[in-house]
Chain A
């Protein structure tokens, strides 16, 4: 049985609630992400900001808007030990692309990873992660 922890990305990129939207945009652009988690100083997750939440601010004052204002509050708890079908069901029903994974062993509301719809596409296509990069790599003699 495939579990959520087999497919998820380990580690979460996060910002603080009082960071400006500009910081979030830079974070997304530089790391080529489509969502960023919002955590408080103690490391508890408050919510997440997706690309679409950020796009609402296009052409508006980015410096003057805080992450707290545009984030969606975090409500769905996904355990890394769940079967992957359960997570896919949640994505389909809630029309969400990114699920934050919370490990109860790491403490309450501590994000340990993220599962995206693209991870599921990779899983279904049977194309290994990194195949594309390996195909492009020029063989070296060393």
Chain B
């Protein structure tokens, strides 16, 4: 059986609103020790993702006035839990992103289900069971 995204992904994601300031987003990332933050709208539909590298884009600007919506990478790739894992990895390598947002496979719905982390894939490659909390 072909391995799908469902087997490796983690459920749930840490999110922020698009009106959050960059300082808030940086604090969310620093306090939770994560390298990403998913930007969602009021009905929890995904708008984009902010990675550690996108935070750098705001360096030198006023962090309280720059908003999450100004620096986010817009969400364009649709990955669902039933997508084949090889396709997801291919996307990660090609677009040079370490986290893929997994959304519901109901058409038209963009509610966040979870994330596929590069870290979890490396764990699987090393033969380790699961990332330590």
B-binding residues in A (CB < 8 A): 22, 25-26, 28-30, 32, 34, 51-52, 54-59, 62, 85, 88, 91-92, 95, 97, 116-118, 120-122, 124-127, 131-132
Contacts and interface: CB of A to CB of B under 8 A. Distances in A.
A59 B33 CA distance: 28
Q: Which 5 A-B pairs have the closest CB atoms?
A: A125-B26, A117-B52, A29-B126, A127-B30, A25-B126
A85 B60 CA distance: 9
Contacts of B128: 26, 29-30
Contacts of B123: 29
Contact of A55 (B53, B57, B121): B121
Q: How large is the interface on B (under 10, 10 to 19, 20 to 34, 35 or more residues)?
A: 35 or more
Contacts of B131: 29, 32
Interface string B117-130: 01101111111100
Nearest to B24: A125
A82 B52 CA distance: 21
Contacts, number: 110
Residues of B contacting A: mostly? helix
B56 A28 contact: no
Given A118-B35, A132-B33, A22 B126 contact: yes
B63 interface: yes
Interface string B45-64: 00000011101111110010
B110 interface: no
